[in-house]
Chains A and B, each alone.
Chain A
Amino acid sequence: MKVLINVIIRFHFVFLFIILEIISIRMVIFEDLEKKNAYFSSANAVSGFFYKRLDNWSAYFSLAHENEMLRTENLELRKSINKNKRTELIDIVKSDTSKTDSEKYTYIPSRVINNSIYKKQNYITIDKGFADGIKKDFGVISGKGVVGVVVAVSQHYSLVVSILNNRFGIGVKVKKSNHFGSVHWLKNNYRYASLFEIPNHIKIAEGDTIVSSGFSSIFPPGINIGNIAKFKTNQSNNFYEIDIKLSTDFKNLYNVYVIDNLMRKEQISLENEVKDEY
């Protein structure tokens, strides 16, 4: 025992180094999206406070651009209202039991206070937390399309994993043909992502719109993700290799909406029930 203590005292520097290095490399490797902790992220109270202050101040410089973006978003919403009115007149006979999308989802407006696009794992901090009703696994969208998913929540701030994160994937479908696949970000370019699992026999073309599939309880179906920029066939596994241009410009991201799915509990409990049985 005495020898052991002597060894520890003699080599305390090396031991301390090994312990600290193991702790930090463990954090790098096992940094799991599922177990993300708000205290150890930029969504904690201290850093959220300072980022919020900085945003309050720097927001003035982007006001013109933000206004422009909100105006185009308004325009698109106005157009879609007109379209909806027309379709309502056509199918006036509607089943009264199914809930429409507008009843199923609520949206919480929020502001981006910290954002990164050049790392391999990019996260976004927003200025709403559980005090505003945000919980883990809520989807986040911008006026143009999908942004990411909430992974950690503190009282007034939340951490969102953006699509620009190589540990994150999202279920999507081709709008034209309704075939589904998944989008991952592997290219390290903030404008592009990769689309997988679309088999070779399906006809696709450059410019086809990719939207969220709506299978998960996170995003409503039909939210824009991007357009096919280029694709090539891979003969070895019969799937396309597709690059998509993301519709959200992550470099100019100021206002986002957090989506709360009111039927989430029901869907998840049903899915889990079935999973246990079969």
Chain B
Amino acid sequence: MSINIFLRNIGRFIILVFIQVFIFNNIHLTSFGVIPIIYIIYIIILPFETPKWLVLILAFLIGLSIDIFSDTLGLNASASVLIAFIRPAILNYLAPRDGYEIGSFPRVYYQGIIWFLKYSSSMIVIHQIVYYLLESFNFENIGVILFKVIIASAVSLILAIVSQYIVFRK
């Protein structure tokens, strides 16, 4: 059972990196060339019971893999590590009164669409803010950064939700 989950997670890691790098990195939205992110779904749907330190390390590894393929060394890694750090707090904040049911996962099927919307949107927005701030490295054109964050987050959120109904149904 546990080795099965382990293998499935490794497979998901590799597939999401490839889909991000070879499909979504080639999609450029608006004239600013905003790229929708999909690999963040990996961090979003890790089981509740995953040790917190393991989430950090996995987030770092998936961010670094994306960075190596797309020559943005450190950008995706730092944004992913930050959301992995905030994830327990968000999960805590959104938890139902008597905690999450044992054997359930952070997905639409178990937690409902409203819960998932709140959870994934906060993760994605924080990720994108960190990403674009670090990329520009100053607040020179805050309007442009804000615009990019809004577009990228909206499209990525739609992708995350669609994935819940197509791939990660249960």
Contacts and interface: CB of A to CB of B under 8 A. Distances in A.
Interface in B56-73: 56-57, 60, 63-64, 67-73
Contacts of B53: 12-13, 16
Among A24, A25, A41, A159, residue most surrounded by chain B Cβ atoms (within 10 Å)? A24
B37 to A, nearest CB: 14
B33 interface: yes
Contact of A24 (B21, B22, B74): B74
B163 interface: no
Contacts of B155: none
Interface stretch (A75-83, A112-120, A140-148): A112-120
- Chain B interface secondary structure, helix, strand, loop or mixed? helix
A118 B33 contact: yes
Interface string B95-136: 000000000000000000000000000000000000000111
Interface stretch (A26-34, A205-213, A270-278): A26-34
B45 interface: no
Contact of B74 (A25, A42, A44, A123): A25
Interface string B14-30: 00001001100100100
B22 A54 contact: yes
B68 A27 contact: no
A17 B68 CA distance: 21
A13 B56 contact: yes
A24 B79 CA distance: 9
Contacts, number: 85
Contact of A117 (B33, B64, B67, B136): B33
A17 B81 contact: yes
Interface residues of B, number: 35
Contacts of A26: 74
Interface string B64-91: 1001111111110110011011000000
A40 B73 contact: yes
B73 A27 contact: yes
A20 B57 contact: yes
B52 interface: yes
A29 to B, nearest CB: 8
Interface of B: 18, 21-22, 25, 28, 32-35, 52-53, 56-57, 60, 63-64, 67-75, 77-78, 81-82, 84-85, 134-137
Given A25-B74, A47-B68, 18 more contacts: A13-B85, A16-B57, A17-B81, A20-B56, A24-B60, A24-B77, A25-B78, A25-B134, A27-B78, A28-B78, A31-B74, A41-B73, A42-B70, A44-B68, A118-B32, A119-B33, A119-B135, A120-B136
25 contacts: A13-B56, A13-B85, A16-B53, A16-B56, A17-B84, A23-B60, A24-B64, A24-B74, A24-B77, A25-B74, A25-B78, A26-B74, A27-B67, A27-B77, A27-B78, A28-B78, A28-B137, A29-B74, A31-B73, A31-B74, A42-B69, A42-B71, A116-B71, A118-B32, A121-B71
